[in-house]
Amino acid sequence: MKKFLSLFLIFSLFFGMGVSAKTVSSECDITDIDKPFAEANAETKTEIGGKLDIKAKSAILLEPYTGKILYEQNADEKLPPASITKIMPLLLVMEAIKRGDLALETVVYASEHACSMGGSQIWLEPGEGMTVDELLKATVIASANDACVALGEAIAGSEEGFVELMNERAKALGMNNTHFVNCTGLDADEHYTSAHDVALMSAALIKYPLIKKYSTVWMDSLRNGESELVNTNKLVRFYKGTTGLKTGTTSKAKYCLSATAERDGMELVAVVLAGDSSDDSFSGAKKLLDYGFANYSFKEILGELAEESVPLQNGVEKTVGVSCKGKVNVLLPKNSKGEITRETILNKNIKAPIKKDDVLGYVNIYSSGEQIGKLPITANEDVEKLTLWVTMRWILEGILTL
């Protein structure tokens, strides 16, 4: 039944059966969107250090919380990214929502410029209003250029201003091989990025749980069902644990994909740029993700302290309570036999006065003898310095209580 419905929706998209003129236009050929890609069900296993057969110019696999690169292939070459450009606009929208500058219920009215984009679109008309929620749905699922520009104008007032924000954010993320000219990914001179840079912005985006409300959807609609949306990311349907993220295709960029997936508490970002076919990009991303999930595990290591307090000099108390909060994110090979160990290092001659949350030392964390992180040991309370005035105050308080 589900397959029948899927085929019906696709048929409706292309032949207009009962669908209005505002049907979505996709940059990708989605006539075979219901068909698994070549290696969708194939089991692939490559040991750490092995070479993956990825038929694309550039690729990378990144763990987003440690920032560790697990595999790369020509990952720093500057290449046109097509619609995976939209990862940066989506990140800026998520940040604007977090700041309170936008809300999902905010209505955005389409400008003439937004409606003129062409390519993938939901056929917005000038003055037509859609909520941020609807525009996000259109941008993420259907890669709608008009919806993306409308969101950018809502934040910055114009696409040009929004692109400036995109480039500023890229610089802050360390995306050193990136320059954006537009927010849609349509081919343009001097519009480029790299697989590594795409992985960096993808890692930043997926840390917003809200994005997965859209990026994990296979099919949806707008305008009370008049405009059908089909996710061009086949991994959403055919790869276990997929959380997103974005496809992109133009004649200049070829087939591009930023794919994210999560299994057993570990999330990975796989980026493939300039594949020769849709199957090449999906199969390449699957191989990268398979490699990561087969060979690595993700752990959150707590500091842990044997001591509840430490000695204090010159204080009104002889000790001060301490704790070690926080955690270290650790990515380890599954075949690693190294034991996680901790070493507590306190500052020498800890003296009052002490303020709550003052750092009094560190817990160093090691795996197989190699330091993989450290967490601060902090004071749980304020402790005054023992002075003549404090002593006199105590004496006076004692007299008054007699």
Residue 213 is inside which H or E element, if any?
A: helix 212-215
Given 58, 111, 120, 143, the catalytic residue: 143
Residues contacting 377, CB < 8 A, separation 6+: 303, 305, 322, 323, 324, 344, 346, 359, 360, 361, 362, 363
240 is catalytic: no
83 is catalytic: yes
Place of tokens 């002075």: 387
Q: Is 123 helix (H, G, I), strand (E, B) or coil?
A: coil
355 is catalytic: no
Q: Is 22 helix (H, G, I), strand (E, B) or coil?
A: coil
Given 86, 212, 234, 374, the catalytic residue: 86
Rounded Cα distance, 110 and 134, in Å? 12
Per the rule left: phi > 0, alpha: psi between -120 and 50, beta: everything else, 322 is beta
Q: DSSP states of 183-205 as a string?
A: SS----TT-BB-HHHHHHHHHHH
Output DSSP code: residue 69: E
Given 83, 215, 281, 283, the catalytic residue: 83
Per the rule left: phi > 0, alpha: psi between -120 and 50, beta: everything else, 170 is alpha
Residues catalogued as catalytic: 83, 86, 143
